[in-house]
Amino acid sequence: MIVLIGYMGSGKSTVGKVLAKQLQKDFIDFDKYIEAKENQNIPEIFKQKGEVYFRKKEAQYLGELLEDNSKAVVSLGGGTPCFGNNMQTIIETSPNVYYLKLSVDTLIDRLKPEKSYRPLIKDIADKDLSEFIRKHLFERNFYYLQAHHIINVTQQTPEEIAGEIIEKLS
């Protein structure tokens, strides 16, 4: 199994699809997996049931997913590694965990037009987005940096990133 982690907007799903196609593996977007299990999209889950409920279900579904999909490329949600024992479970399940690291400025450029689809930033003013992302990344880096491989993806295309991951596969 190949697991992609990183902040929202870092390209995990885009790279995951390219990588899965090149390796002829299944691709699983964990957010879509959760939405299918809950029969509800993630913004609705956050709004109706709250983040605590979401994070509990996320941990449950992560265990199921990692157990059942050993041959897949999996793109996790940005917060998935940062709650409970999720990161420990991830790194123990696969030797191929990749942190897609992106500069804050590039994250801002990518996330501004997508705010309405992102529950954690939808209500943050554009002028405050940089500070929020910097603070959030600071908190999450403890988890992200536990990945087996860290790839700076700021200047690379999805195809180049997939190629770099293929070169490093254990």
- Digit-coded pLDDT (tens) for 31-51: 999 999 999 998 899 889 998
Q: What band does 166 get if pLDDT is binned at 50, 70 and 90?
A: very high
In-domain check, residue 93: yes
In-domain check, residue 119: yes
pLDDT per residue as tens digits for the range 89-147: 999 999 999 999 999 999 999 898 888 878 788 888 888 999 999 999 999 999 999 99
Q: Provide the domain limits for residue 116.
A: 2-164
In-domain check, residue 170: no
Q: How far apart are CA 53 and CA 51, in angstroms?
A: 5
Mean pLDDT score of the chain = 92
User: For residue 116, what pLDDT is reported?
Assistant: 80
* % of the chain with per-residue pLDDT over 70: 99
In-domain check, residue 96: yes
User: DSSP string of 42-91?
Assistant: HHHHHHHHHHHHHHHHHHHHHHHHHHH-TTSEEE--TTGGGSTTHHHHHH
In-domain check, residue 29: yes
φ, ψ at 98 (rounded to 5°): -120, 125
Structural domains in the chain (count): 1
In-domain check, residue 115: yes
Q: pTM of this prediction?
A: 0.92
pLDDT over 70 at 29, yes or no: yes
In-domain check, residue 111: yes
Q: How far apart are CA 144 and CA 150, in angstroms?
A: 9
In-domain check, residue 169: no
Sign of CA dihedral 39, 42, 45, 51: positive
pLDDT over 70 at 69, yes or no: no
What 8-state DSSP symbol labels residue 114? G
Of the listed ranges 10-19, 78-87, 107-116, the least confidently predicted one is: 107-116
Q: How far apart are CA 20 and CA 72, in angstroms?
A: 7
Question: What CATH number should be reported for the domain holding residue 85?
Answer: 3.40.50.300
